Structure 1
Amino acid sequence: MAQFQQDETGSQDTGPSQPLSLTAALARIAHAAPDEGLTLGAFSDALGERVFGALLFALAIPVCMPFLYGVPQIVALPMMAIALQMAGGRAHPWMPKSFRNRQLDKPGLTRIATWSRKWFGWLEALARPRLSFLSGPTAERFVGGVFVLFCASILIPLPATNTTPGIAIAIASIGLITRDGLLVLAGLVLGLLWITLLIVGFTFFGAAFLDMLKTFILGLFGAGG
């Protein structure tokens, strides 16, 4: 997977252009978006849709936001479609017209940019090439298959089923983009542990696990009973 790059426009620097980080690119896209926002297709094109990791990272950001409703449902199915293509070894992501026409409003784009920098900017800055076998073409297909499982979890209407797998996808995507196999591994482990928790919780506690999980999540974010 090629390193995500986007040149600065209007730069007076006559030397080689510097790569624009994902978080910086998201901020730039949000700032330049028209008042009505962007379609998912236009958003994908602005990111550079040749890079699966860049697109999956960007779409995972609103999914990471706790107690945010609406946007995760807009992006979850396109994320799953992209992950399936990644697992199938496609060179370039593709979305059907019905997905590409889904609208992301400007405030939503601004929140995506703000959250990506706040929660993942430091991680992106620390990322470096290592454990390259976990970010190569064969590994990408495996990661894509696991991402499909994470996206399925996002579609389940339970507390934090959006947030945890969304964070896992974002971390692993940064790893894919920067060829940091350690981050890829960290994202996969986080997401798989979450899904294991859901399976074990419902197996042993049934419907009562939902109340336990909701109480824990609300307490964690200080939302009260």
Structure 2
Amino acid sequence: MTAQPSVDLTISQRLDHLVAEAPAEQISLSWILHQLHERAFGLFLLILALPCCIPFLYGIPQIVSLPLMFISAQIVMGRRDPWLPGKLGERSVTKDGLDKLSQRAGPWLRRIEGVSKPRLALLTNPPLDRFVGLALVLFSASILVPLPGTNTVPGFAVVVVAMGLLQRDGILVIIGSLLGTAWIASLIFAGATLASLIKNWIGL
């Protein structure tokens, strides 16, 4: 039986295929990136951001946030093919962890795939995709905020934007961008409020 070409697979099937092809228990980010081929930007962003959607998860968001920022910055720069330098590419996840992620995320991804379609595709193509990439850099950076649960909202925003890029769905890109922007704004507001309270408390 001939293997199904990866280009014909849905996004959720691509995740399952990636797990099945994993050569070892520890999987480097570089290996994952090299398996994605076409649409690598969107797929890699999606895979990296999915673990960040899990509330109060520590460790994994910190591992993937810098690669997320690095890949997003390459969209801003207009690169056609994503790449990771040695140190970032050597970061790894377990095959079991990737499998569990695929199983948990699969139903949700299929739901999004079911309602998404090509629309407002200009937002997913140059030059407008560079503005999307800039937003992704900011969302990815906010994942590093060392507070409980702060990885979930920006992680979900990146997932929605990545799905929009993959499906050529500008509506999803807008929804994810609005969600991430609202999150950044809330962080800025909370930080400013906290700073004001501290100043008042110490009498400055």
TM-score, with structure 1 as normaliser: 0.80
Q: Name 1:214's counterpart in structure 2.
A: none
Describe the shift of the 1:9–1:75 C-alpha distance in structure 2 as closer, same or farther (beyond 3 A).
farther
Describe the shift of the 1:69–1:126 C-alpha distance in structure 2 as closer, same or farther (beyond 3 A).
same
- SS class of match (1:138): coil
- SS class of match (1:148): helix
User: C-alpha displacement at 1:84, in angstroms?
Assistant: 0.6
Describe the shift of the 1:9–1:78 C-alpha distance in structure 2 as closer, same or farther (beyond 3 A).
farther
Q: Does the 8 Å CA contact 1:49/1:93 hold for their aligned counterparts? A: no
Q: Which segment drifts farther, 149-158 or 29-38?
A: 29-38
User: C-alpha displacement at 1:10, in angstroms?
Assistant: 2.5
User: C-alpha displacement at 1:206, in angstroms?
Assistant: 4.7
- SS class of match (2:128): helix
For the residues of structure 1 that align with 2:88 and 2:154, how far apart are their CA atoms?
21
**One-letter amino acid of the structure 2 residue matched with residue 109 of structure 1:** L
Q: Does 1:10 pair with 2:3?
A: yes
- Number of aligned residues: 197
Q: Name 1:31's counterpart in structure 2.
A: 20
- Match for residue 56 of structure 2 among 67, 81, 86: 67
- Match for residue 195 of structure 1 among 184, 189, 194: 184
User: C-alpha displacement at 1:35, in angstroms?
Assistant: 4.7
Q: Does 1:48 pair with 2:37?
A: yes
Q: Does the 8 Å CA contact 1:57/1:174 hold for their aligned counterparts? A: yes
- Match for residue 66 of structure 2 among 64, 77, 87: 77
Q: Does the 8 Å CA contact 1:53/1:173 hold for their aligned counterparts? A: yes
Describe the shift of the 1:49–1:69 C-alpha distance in structure 2 as closer, same or farther (beyond 3 A).
farther
User: C-alpha displacement at 1:115, in angstroms?
Assistant: 2.9
Greater percentage in helix = 2
**One-letter amino acid of the structure 1 residue matched with residue 128 of structure 2:** A
Describe the shift of the 1:9–1:39 C-alpha distance in structure 2 as closer, same or farther (beyond 3 A).
farther
Describe the shift of the 1:65–1:127 C-alpha distance in structure 2 as closer, same or farther (beyond 3 A).
same
Q: Does 1:125 pair with 2:118?
A: no
Q: Does 1:165 pair with 2:154?
A: yes
For the residues of structure 1 that align with 2:7 and 2:89, how far apart are their CA atoms?
29
For the residues of structure 1 that align with 2:92 and 2:118, how far apart are their CA atoms?
35
For the residues of structure 2 that align with 1:17 and 1:78, how far apart are their CA atoms?
24
Describe the shift of the 1:51–1:204 C-alpha distance in structure 2 as closer, same or farther (beyond 3 A).
same
| Aligned-residue identity in percent | 42
What is the Cα-based RMSD across aligned positions, in Å?
Answer: 2.2
TM-score, with structure 2 as normaliser: 0.88
For the residues of structure 1 that align with 2:196 and 2:134, how far apart are their CA atoms?
28
Q: Does the 8 Å CA contact 1:61/1:115 hold for their aligned counterparts? A: no
Q: Name 2:145's counterpart in structure 1.
A: 156
For the residues of structure 1 that align with 2:24 and 2:6, how far apart are their CA atoms?
29
For the residues of structure 1 that align with 2:80 and 2:17, how far apart are their CA atoms?
26
Q: Name 1:144's counterpart in structure 2.
A: 133
Which 4+ residue blocks in structure 1 deviate beyond 6 angstroms? none
User: C-alpha displacement at 1:17, in angstroms?
Assistant: 8.3
